[in-house]
Amino acid sequence: MVPKTFNILFLIRKPNGTSITEYPIFMRITVDGTQKEFSIGRKCPPEKWNKSISRSSGTKEEFRQLNNYLDALQQQAYEAKIKAIESYKLITPEFIIDIMFGRDQEKPKMIIEVFQEHNNCFAELVGKEVVQATMTRYEISLTRLKDFIIWKYQKDDLPIKDINYEFIENYMQYLKVVKTCNTNSAGKYLVELKKIISQCIKRGIIIKDPFFGFKIKKTEVKRKVLTMEEIACLANKNFAVKRLENIRDIFLFCCYTGLAYIDIKQLKRTHIQIGIDGEDWIFTTRQKTDVDTRVPLLPFAKAIIEKYLDHPQCIIQGTVLPVPCNQKMNAYLKEIADVCGITKTLTTHIARHTFATTVTLSHGVPIETVSKLLGHKNLKTTQHYAKILDLKVSSDVAKLRLALDV
């Protein structure tokens, strides 16, 4: 904050109870009515002091040097004021004095130090406002940044003020070439670093944004989905191994509800309630986005729930389905794909994409409704799915042809 008034004054004071011929000189700094005085370590005879100009009136060389010193001190004070303003510090007489005599030198904030502070605060919110997956992502991002600084600068940390546009460019290059990250993965690490830098700007640690003018590129990912024929192939397949049958059912349940793996795993029987239409609905909250989601149960999904009502794991845990850990789930899905002759890599995420496209959008469900069913925060996220619907485009154009032929 820029002070309304800022004044510098030099004055001499006669020490109490003494009869010395020279009086010590004091410097008084006044900021918005608040003042602070201190001795500058110099003296002047009272008869050689001009109170009106706050300088010595002597003509000898020693008095000229004294006045030059006073001028230098005054200049230091004004430069300190400018420095304080530029650093967005609260300007007080004490702070000006500290700057003048080098007592304002704080230990520079370091990027790894601040990133770690962010992660420590984040860790306290896990299970409340933050999911573990997000926490893990930031931990990996911090490790990547540490590795880069050691690789590039042979140091454990760097002052945040040294993070510039060139640093960002070099970090991106390092992620792509040394760590062999693809464009999107490298971009995510840069996005996380940018969040830390933005916090530093808000806290006044730095003023200039090193990301200014830097564009974090992102390539569009072609999402794979199952066709209705492939879904039917999975549904009609008889498995000799019970665990594969269980995993198949869980996967198909994702295809017909659009729920993510973690939301399926945490789905309780209490989440199945009667909806506005008198039918069974899923009432839950997406863990990733903390968005309330309501999904009407399609007949196939409802049949899977009924199939596992008496499953021991479901009874004990109160869950809807006996969902294993994600690692096992994906490993078993690979087996299922091989058995069914499906060349696409089956994951619970593909099941969610399949719900969004093959099951809903391709059958004429409006994209606004699909967005609500998926628990997306904005429609733009859902629109990515609409780009891959060649079948829907073909169907819509066929209707257009008929209309134009009339």
CA 247, 249, 254, 255 torsion-angle sign: positive
- In this prediction, residues 257-271 reach a mean pLDDT of 92
Percent pLDDT > 70 in the chain is 95
- Residue 389's pLDDT is what? 59
Give the residue-averaged pLDDT of 109-116. Answer: 94
Average of per-residue pLDDT values in the chain: 89
Position 67 scores a pLDDT of: 94
* Residue-level pLDDT at 216: 92
Domain range summary for the chain, segments of one domain joined by +: 6-100, 111-202, 228-405
Question: What's the pLDDT score for residue 386?
Answer: 65
Task: Report the alpha-carbon distance of residue 206 to residue 200 in Å, rounded.
Answer: 6
Sign of torsion, CA 119 123 124 130?
positive
* Burial profile 76-107: b = 16 or more Cβ within 10 angstroms, e = fewer: bbeebbebbeeeeeebbbebbbebbeeebeee
Q: What is the DSSP letter of 298?
A: P
Segment 142-158, tens digit of pLDDT: 999 999 999 999 999 99
Class of domain 228-405: mainly alpha
Half-sphere exposure of 258 (CA within 13 A, CB side): 29
Task: Pick 389 or 39 by higher pLDDT.
Answer: 39
- The number of beta carbons lying within 10 Å of the beta carbon of residue 113 is 16
Task: Using alpha carbons, select from 25, 28, 7, 4 the residue that is nearest to residue 78.
Answer: 7
Q: What is the mean pLDDT of residues 17-29?
A: 86
pLDDT digit string, tens, across residues 182-213? 999 999 999 999 999 999 998 888 888 999 99
128 has a pLDDT exceeding 90? no
% of the chain with per-residue pLDDT over 90? 63
Task: Give the mean pLDDT of 162-173.
Answer: 95
Helical (H) or strand (E) element with 42: strand 34-44
pLDDT at 383 over 80: no
pTM of this structure: 0.60
Residue 391 predicted with pLDDT over 80: no
Q: What is the DSSP pairing of strand 23-31 with strand 292-296? A: unpaired
Judge contact between 193 and 118, C-beta under 8 A: no
Average pLDDT of 19-36? 91
What's the maximum distance between 2 C-alpha atoms anywhere in the chain? 117
pLDDT tens digits, one per residue of 282-332: 999 887 777 888 999 999 999 999 999 999 999 999 999 999 998 899 899
Q: How far is CA 207 from CA 87, 157, 197, 212, in A?
A: 8, 20, 10, 12
Q: Among 351, 320, 354, which residue's Cα sits nearest to residue 251?
A: 351
Kindly state the average pLDDT of the residues 92-119. Answer: 86
The C-alpha angle with vertex 75 and arms to 74 and 76, in degrees rounded to 5, equals 90
Whether 88 has a pLDDT exceeding 80, the answer reads no
How far is 178 from 81, CA to CA, in rounded Å?
Answer: 46
β-strand partners of 37: 28
Gap between the Cα atoms of 361 and 91, Å rounded: 61
